[in-house]
Amino acid sequence: MKKTLLRAAALGLTLLTLAACGKVEPIEPTEEELAVVMQAAGYDICYDELRYYTCNLKDQMAGYYGTDIWASESTAAPYLEELKSGVADMGRYNAAVLSLCAEFGISIDETAIQEDVQAEVEALVEECGSMKEYQAALAEYHMTDRLFRYMTGVTLCETELYNVLLDLGLLDNSDEGAEAFFASDDFIRTLHIYIGNDAGDSVDANRAEAEAILKELDAGADFNTLIGRHSEDFYMTTTNGYYFTRGEMDVSYETAAFALAENTYSDVVATDTGFYIIQRLPKDADYINRNFEDLKHQYLSALFYNMIEARRDEITLTETAYGQSLSLWSIE
């Protein structure tokens, strides 16, 4: 409900060489892949990064809205602002992580981080079985070797930043803090009935199905019974539901859920992935006590990612002349 893997150039290493030394050298990127298209908080966003964001978002959106939406500039036009916004958010997110890390003396260029990046690459090559299969795995996700290394480094920096913030007490790791948070109105519990917009589905038909379910609820049908009969979220086969705070779910879902009084349900809520009817329930103290450590980790993670997203929202993207010349709908 809620937050890495192109490169065609030949690599001068054979499998025999890999077996002999275990060292996977970086694949040299092309000039096009390294071309800077945008800058964010002093960090360059290269073409291969833009391509990765764009192609993956286009694939997702085609699943939501129809496989032909990117067929031409005219069919793409209604979806371009959403695409641009999503690409911008992804580009600013990495810049947010790295800029926060820099404030605490953490750098993606640290020897230890780069050694861990190298280990991740070598593990993936071994898992794939060969350099050819490694490159094919990257290509499946519209990714280059350079970008995989970069994004792995960002993730490692993110983890180090989380641990530093905990050590410095900038994320409240106390049980008392978690208990107070769990008792507050910023932490809620929901059930829902979900109708997903799967590839090939008619969005209008899915919306009509959700509206028909809502009429059943209004007529007195049991919410849990309708979950079992209709919901495509199989986690909802239990009655524990979701416990969460702001920043963890789809924005539309959160807005509707936090607006509900306990023991009431929403109208049909449209999201990018499908339609929800949400019921807000009282929190179960016994469930919270039994799952305290997991929920506390969830709470701390939410605080951490909200901090990153707040920094992301402060960052402005600046396009280069080359970036301005590109048309996102045509990038493949």
Q: Return d(Cα 44, Cα 49) in angstroms, integer.
A: 10
Q: Return d(Cα 178, Cα 42) in angstroms, integer.
A: 36
Question: Alpha helices, DSSP H only, in 25-130?
Answer: 31-34, 47-65, 73-76, 80-103, 111-128
Separation of CA 59 from chain center:
14
Tens digit of each residue's pLDDT (9 = 90 or more) over 101-139? 999 999 999 999 999 999 999 999 999 999 999 999 999
Q: Tell me which DSSP letter residue 283 carries.
A: -
Residue 138 CB contacts under 8 Å (≥ 6 apart), including other chains = 5, 6, 7, 144, 145, 148
Q: Tell me which DSSP letter residue 45 carries.
A: E
Tens digit of each residue's pLDDT (9 = 90 or more) over 199-256? 778 888 999 999 999 999 999 999 999 999 999 988 776 668 899 998 888 889 999 9
* pLDDT for the residue 302: 87
* pLDDT for the residue 273: 85
Q: Tell me which DSSP letter residue 248 carries.
A: S
Q: What percent of the chain has pLDDT over 70?
A: 92
Domain range list for the chain: 30-167+310-330, 178-289
pLDDT tens for each residue of the chain, 332 residues long: 443 222 222 223 333 333 334 578 999 999 999 999 999 999 999 999 999 999 999 988 887 777 789 999 999 999 999 999 999 999 999 999 999 999 999 999 999 999 999 999 999 999 999 999 999 999 999 999 999 999 999 999 999 999 999 999 999 999 999 999 999 999 999 999 999 988 778 888 999 999 999 999 999 999 999 999 999 988 776 668 899 998 888 889 999 999 999 999 999 999 878 999 999 999 999 999 999 999 999 999 988 998 999 999 999 999 999 999 999 989 98
* pLDDT for the residue 22: 56
Closest Cα to residue 97, out of 106, 88, 86, 85?
106
Q: How, if at all, do strands 317-319 and 36-40 pair?
A: antiparallel
| Residue 259: Cβ-neighbour burial (10 angstroms; 0-12, 13-18, 19+) | exposed
Closest Cα to residue 52, out of 127, 119, 145?
145
Q: Is the domain 178-289 a CATH 3.10.50.40 member?
A: yes
Give, rounded to a whole angstrom, the gap between the first and last alpha carbons of the chain. Answer: 27
pTM for this structure?
0.80
Q: Tell me which DSSP letter residue 238 carries.
A: S
